[in-house]
Structure 1
Amino acid sequence: MAQMEGYIPDRVKNAEKRLEQNAYDLEAWSVLLRDAQNKKIEDARLLFEKIVTQFPNAGRYWKIYIEHEMKSRNYERVEKLFQRCLMKVLNIDLWKCYLSYVKETKGALPTFREKMAQAYDFALDKMGMDILSYPIWNDYINFLKSVEAVGSYAENQRITAVRKIYQRGIVNPMMNIEQLWKDYILYEQGINSLIAEKMITDRSREYMNARRVAKEYEAVTRGLNKNAPSVPPQGTPEELKQVELWKKYIAWEKSNPLRTEDHALITKRVMFAYEQGLLCLGHHPDIWYEAALFLEHSSKLLTDKGDLNAGKMFSDEAAAVYERATTTLLK
């Protein structure tokens, strides 16, 4: 039933009162959010802006806001919203929403293929390590397979592009990695069964390693609430449990479960875990501090090994973490 113009339900008034007492009252925000989702975007926008200002790291809130703008085809606004949140909020559902947006809005452009491939590459670069990233890998591969290839040169280019993503995906620990491996075997066999055997044998060990790590990854992240918005520490049992789970996951990544010699990869994986944790624990100074210290340690290690570029990159990242900590949620 449509609300009468200007009428404010009691539950909304009560929620607004509660927020005057405590700006981090998540139940009160949920009431206002549900109310806003039933309104036209013009009437809901102010509330959406308030909630993403209060919770700038909450992927779920950004996604709800963006999807409401998408419904009204306000694509310029959507573009600007993504510019504000995407790089900072490494939330898998928000990134899937971004890929849907590119697909929906750029489909008619003559450069659509390039734009879509760039969007997938961008998403894999930022979110490819997520335990739930399989749909992005799989969609990208299916997209590349569907690209029209006229002539043997174009056909070979397409095979190379598809193979490249498969080969990156099958050594990347995530749920459904087994399905990606099965699909990859069928793909290679469909091209050339003799070459397929060698390709598969060459990669089998790395795949088995990634599959083993994927099972550990799933176990160590079980129970994590990745959609919990950042609020100042409350000391509740539920919060303490989440902090403990995040720290357990980060410690697991630091233990180098892939048993790789590639220290830059270890650092990237650990920092992905920290970045995920900070979306939910952004008001916890110790997590920011630990993340920056870890980057400084990695920077020194890589510099000592002679990898000056990576050393400099991680040193700059450490400075950026301190900067973000003191200018965003901890200011």
Structure 2
Amino acid sequence: MSRDRDRSRSRSADRDVLEICWKPVKEDPTNFDAWTHLLQCVEQMDETRPAREAYDEFLKKYPYCYGYWRKYAELERRHKHYERCIDVYERGVTAISLSIDVWLSYLAFLKEYSRDKDGKEHKIRHLYERAISAAGLEFRSDKLWEDYINWELKQKNLPMVTALYDRLLKAPTQLYSQHFERFQEFVNSNAPDKILSEEEYDQIYKFVESELKDKNVEIYVVEEVREEAQENGDETPKTNNDLPAEGKTEYRKKYADEALKLFRVEILEKRRKLHLYNEQEVSKRWPFEEGIKRPYFHVKPLERAQLKNWRAYLDFEIGVGIHERVIVLFERCLIACAMYEDMWLRYARYLEGRNDVDIARAVYKRATTVHLPKKPGPHLAFAAFEEKNGNLVIIVIDRHGDNCSRVIDKSPYLIHSSLIDDEKQLLCFVLSFGKFDEAKSLLTDFDRKNPGYIMIQLRRIGVERRQATHDARIRSTDDQEVAPDFAQVTATYEKHIRDPRTPTKMASFYALKFARFHAKVRGDKKLAEKIIKDALSRDKDNPQLYLQLIDLAFSATPFSEQAVVDAFDRGLHSQELPDYEKVRLSQRKLEFLEDLGTDIVALQEHFEYHTKLYKSVGGGSSG
């Protein structure tokens, strides 16, 4: 009974400690120190359930913390949950595919886990290949390459070792010179036919044979090898009559010294060219690599010099133009610069520029859902991306048909056209219609979680407006043009303006945008004027509203001098508008009367008014 009570007390104490550790994390999920303290707590408890909950939540938020993927996997391995361990490693190498440490830990576990299982060699090699494919171009990937090569050496798969070196010698890595030295040792320690593919061996064999033919030297020589008889121990019966056994003589074919030398020179010379070219590539990148002081993830800001170095490195690699290396460098950069939205946007736009739309979308998703969920910039960019890169529609029509002009009229959505049948004059059009619903969903979701960003609201309205215009153009025909249905745009503006929770100045801001929409898009300047006047009734000291009213009068058709003067006077006669703001309006009215006015008396009277107003505010405006 006492033991049970002790266990119960211990569990209760653990729960209390766990609750204390979780509290600051729940209060502020961005508190990185609180997270690490929580993880220390669950590590000490060494219980899978609380550890899984903590690791899962932490790594969902900070997937670039590679060390915690290893700790999580090790916890599952220690508790003999091997399938769960594999799952953690798989999640880890997906989240941070360039982490050499996570790959090597995963490989070490798989070797141990697969020791007595069928097909283990195939599984291990497959994982090595995945690792090399994902991280083999990482500048500091040397340990991974060496581990793979050493494993193949243990399997006595020498041609595979050569094939790996052929790939490695083309990869600009930190220890590139050391790899070539080891390859030379490997070549000089093994027979050519044991390390080369059949195809390459045949090629070099023909070359060596041709070189030696004029010298009358054979490629092979026969070597006599005599094996001495082993002495019998006490436990081994001796031969008849206790006579010593005679040694055996064997004849073996081996490479002639000159032939072997030619083989090895030819093998190495071919790779030396790769090595020398790679050396040049490494030297170009070395200054950038030396500038990387913090290649790992941290929530603390990077120094300006570090950011500048990353940007310059990306400029260089993009300029070189080898796509695979550009991708690896972007991924490396994002580990260190995960908190910088310009890096994410640059990566996505680079991919979009190559028409890698699906990969670009995945980058945007990582940025907006994992690393920068509270920053509006990436969400605005993602929404624009979805709106722009929508569903593709292919249309094939007669070049001289009635519908041809209708398709061409939809040029904002036309991304490609070509003549596919010269005889029948058939044209193929590829149009991209935006994913408006996806764009709106992204913005709505961000606004729900992070309210208060006016740019998000304006973008949502803009998407609604463009969708209405798009839908109208699609429904229009040559005989009938369909007007856009802006009901949703109008409703959204009115909601923001009338919402009692909207601050007065913010409501005026929306009113300005709403009035401009009616004046410029719908051509309804009367309604635009009404919206501004309604806003002025609530916000009488807002100079922007008066200026908008003046602009509406100024751009009205037909032009009315009196309407413009009345708009100016509305602001100048306001009791709420400060005098220094009135000076600005007065100056503009004076310029208007001078440039476009027809009444010299009105001009002279206003000049006198303006001079007095100007002097009354101290000879100039305060703003």
Same fold by TM-score, threshold 0.5 exceeded?
yes
CA pair 295-203 structure 1, distance change in 2 beyond 3 A: same
Corresponding residue to 2:45 among 25, 32, 39: 39
Preserved CA contact (<8 Å) 1:174 1:217: no
Matched, 1:6 2:9: no
Determine helix, strand or coil for the equivalent of 2:138.
coil
Within 5 A, what are the aligned runs for 1:46-125? 46-90=53-97, 91-125=99-133
CA pair 5-245 structure 1, distance change in 2 beyond 3 A: farther
Q: In 1, distance between residues paired with 2:310 and 2:132?
A: 22
Preserved CA contact (<8 Å) 1:12 1:31: no
Q: Which amino acid aligns with 1:133?
A: S
Q: Deviations over 1:102-140 (max 9, x none)?
A: 212112122111111111111100010112211211121
Map of 2:297 onto structure 1: 228
Matched, 1:139 2:147: yes
Residue identity over aligned pairs, in percent, reads 23
Map of 1:317 onto structure 2: 359
What's the C-alpha RMSD, in Å, of the aligned pairs? Answer: 2.9
Preserved CA contact (<8 Å) 2:100 2:143: no
Q: In 2, distance between residues paired with 1:285 and 1:32?
A: 28
Corresponding residue to 1:26 among 32, 42, 47: 32
Map of 1:203 onto structure 2: 271
Q: Deviations over 1:130-171 (max 9, x none)?
A: 1221121112112222225xxxxxxxxx33322110111112
Q: Which amino acid aligns with 1:7?
A: A
Q: Which runs of 5+ in 2 are unaligned?
A: 1-8, 193-260, 374-623
Q: In 2, distance between residues paired with 1:318 and 1:146?
A: 41
Q: Which amino acid aligns with 2:294?
A: N
CA pair 60-240 structure 1, distance change in 2 beyond 3 A: farther
Within 5 A, what are the aligned runs for 1:192-271? 192=192, 193-215=261-283, 217-222=285-290, 223-229=292-298, 231=299, 236=301, 238=302, 240-256=304-320, 263=321, 266-271=322-327
Q: Which amino acid aligns with 2:271?
A: R
Q: In 2, distance between residues paired with 1:272 and 1:198?
A: 33
Determine helix, strand or coil for the equivalent of 1:73.
coil
Map of 1:282 onto structure 2: 338
Question: What is the CA-CA distance between 1:58 and the residue it aligns to?
Answer: 2.6
CA pair 183-269 structure 1, distance change in 2 beyond 3 A: same
Question: What is the CA-CA distance between 1:59 and the residue it aligns to?
Answer: 2.0
Matched, 1:167 2:174: no
Q: In 2, distance between residues paired with 1:129 and 1:65?
A: 26
Determine helix, strand or coil for the equivalent of 1:228.
coil
Q: In 2, distance between residues paired with 1:203 and 1:328?
A: 43
Preserved CA contact (<8 Å) 1:92 1:133: yes
Q: In 1, distance between residues paired with 2:271 and 2:191?
A: 17
Map of 1:184 onto structure 2: 183
Q: In 2, distance between residues paired with 1:26 and 1:127?
A: 27
Q: In 2, distance between residues paired with 1:132 and 1:321?
A: 23
CA pair 63-249 structure 1, distance change in 2 beyond 3 A: farther
Q: Which amino acid aligns with 1:81?
A: V
Q: In 2, distance between residues paired with 1:16 and 1:315?
A: 40
Determine helix, strand or coil for the equivalent of 2:271.
helix
Map of 2:491 onto structure 1: none
Question: What is the CA-CA distance between 1:20 and the residue it aligns to?
Answer: 4.1
Bigger RCO (CA 8 Å, 6+ sep): 1
Instruction: Answer 1 or 2: which has greater helix percent.
Output: 1
Question: What is the CA-CA distance between 1:54 and the residue it aligns to?
Answer: 2.1
Determine helix, strand or coil for the equivalent of 1:87.
helix
CA pair 12-319 structure 1, distance change in 2 beyond 3 A: closer
Corresponding residue to 1:291 among 347, 354, 357: 347
Q: In 2, distance between residues paired with 1:71 and 1:245?
A: 41
Corresponding residue to 1:329 among 362, 371, 377: 371
Q: How many residues align?
A: 294
Preserved CA contact (<8 Å) 2:107 2:128: yes
Question: What is the CA-CA distance between 1:35 and the residue it aligns to?
Answer: 2.3
Q: In 1, distance between residues paired with 2:14 and 2:312?
A: 45
Q: Which amino acid aligns with 1:31?
A: H
Q: Which amino acid aligns with 2:46?
A: K
CA pair 14-319 structure 1, distance change in 2 beyond 3 A: closer
Q: In 1, distance between residues paired with 2:18 and 2:358?
A: 45
Determine helix, strand or coil for the equivalent of 2:313.
helix
Q: Which amino acid aligns with 1:33?
A: L
Output the TM-score relative to the length of structure 2. 0.43
Q: Which runs of 5+ in 1 are unaligned?
A: 149-157, 257-262, 300-311
CA pair 250-125 structure 1, distance change in 2 beyond 3 A: same
Preserved CA contact (<8 Å) 2:73 2:85: yes
Q: Deviations over 1:205-241 (max 9, x none)?
A: 3212323433554542344423324x5xx7x5x4545
Q: In 1, distance between residues paired with 2:35 and 2:42?
A: 10
Instruction: Answer 1 or 2: which has greater strand percent.
Output: 2
Preserved CA contact (<8 Å) 2:348 2:360: yes
Q: Which amino acid aligns with 1:321?
A: V
CA pair 273-137 structure 1, distance change in 2 beyond 3 A: same
Output the TM-score relative to the length of structure 1. 0.77
